[in-house]
Amino acid sequence: MNDIKVCKRQEGAVLVISLVLLLVLTLIGVAGMNSSTMQERMAANAQNSNRAFQGAESSVWALLEQLYDNDLTMLRDSMKAADEKSDEVSYTLDSAKGITGTRQARYLGEVIITSGSSMDANESSSLLKGYRYELKGTAEMAGSGAGTTIYKGIEYY
């Protein structure tokens, strides 16, 4: 019969190699977690920026709705102000998410209507004039640093 020889002296190479492989796998796992954490932060920042943008759009739309309801207070205030800007109106858009917004109108000047009138009036008539305004809406999300400003130009006749 053949006897199996047992080596009594072991070097421990298997232990060292398995520990090195375990260390490499641990480093790959930690790098993967850091990458996913960074992607999560980027996604949250994109979402916060989008919310701020939508809030600023909502601010401008609220001012337009005010004008559509024939409340021309902000436009008149901008025409009377020395800097041609109305006072900023601040309000809360979403208290749960900490989104606040402002809206403001700025007077840009007069426009004489030269064509397209169904009144068939003289082009030099001062009765056919309009006014240009710039509407500004802003929104900021507290704690995130996300904020947006939207400008919209209008002519009012």
Q: What is residue 76's predicted lDDT score, i.e. its pLDDT?
A: 92
pTM score of the predicted model: 0.70
User: Looking at residue 84, what is its pLDDT?
Assistant: 93
Residue 63 placed within a domain: yes
- Alpha-carbon distance of 13 to 1, in angstroms, equals 31
Instruction: Decide if 90 contacts 101 (C-beta within 8 A).
Output: yes
Q: How far apart are CA 119 and CA 108, in angstroms?
A: 25
Q: Could you tell me if residue 1 is inside a domain?
A: no
Asked, for residue 4, whether it belongs to a domain, the answer is no
Q: Which residue has the higher pLDDT, 92 or 4?
A: 92
pLDDT at 120: 53
- Residue 93 domain flag: yes
143 belongs to a structural domain: yes
Q: Give the distance between the most distant pair of CA atoms in the chain.
A: 125
Is residue 8 assigned to a domain? no
Range of the domain at 104: 13-156
| Beta carbons within 8 Å of 65's beta carbon, 6+ residues apart | none
Over residues 2-13, the mean pLDDT reads: 67
Over residues 103-140, the pLDDT tens digits come to 999 999 988 776 655 555 555 555 678 899 999 999 99
Who's near 56: CB < 8 A, 6+ residues apart?
101, 137, 138, 139, 148, 149, 150
How many domains are contained in the chain?
A: 1
Residue 53 phi/psi, 5-degree rounding, is: -60, -45
Predicted pLDDT of residue 54: 93
Residue 40 lies in a domain: yes
CA–CA dist 102, 90 (Å, integer):
4
Residue 136 CB-density burial (10 A; 0-12 exposed, 13-18 middle, 19+ buried): buried
5 within some domain: no
